[in-house]
């Protein structure tokens, strides 16, 4: 019995089923950021200024709108 306890397999954190869930979550976050980025890129300088943004702000805004 001591041999079995001493040579037991290490516990794996998480589950094998959590990987697909994590990948889907990450894909969803990436896609939301992409859609936000594309929508903001369609706006004119004037429209961006109306909401307090510039083209330089678009990437930061797109990344910050998605929470994983």
The closest of 68, 67, 43 to 55, measured between CA atoms, is 43
In terms of pLDDT, which residue wins out, 65 or 49? 49
Whole-number Å distance between alpha carbons of 11 and 29:
30
The pLDDT value given to residue 12: 52
**Exposed/middle/buried for residue 65 (C-beta within 10 Å: 0-12, 13-18, 19+):** middle
Q: Work out the pLDDT band at 1, boundaries 50, 70, 90.
A: very low
22-25: long-range contacts at Cβ-Cβ below 8 A with a sequence spacing of 24 or more? 25/68
The pLDDT value given to residue 50: 97
Whole-number Å distance between alpha carbons of 60 and 68:
15
């Amino acid at each position: 019995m001591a041999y079995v306890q001493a040579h037991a397999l290490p516990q794996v954190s998480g589950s094998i089923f959590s990987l697909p869930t994590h990948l889907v979550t990450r894909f969803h976050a990436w896609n939301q950021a992409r859609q936000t980025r594309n929508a903001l890129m369609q706006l004119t300088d004037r429209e961006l200024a109306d909401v307090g943004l510039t083209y330089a702000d678009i990437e930061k805004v797109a990344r910050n709108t998605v929470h994983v």
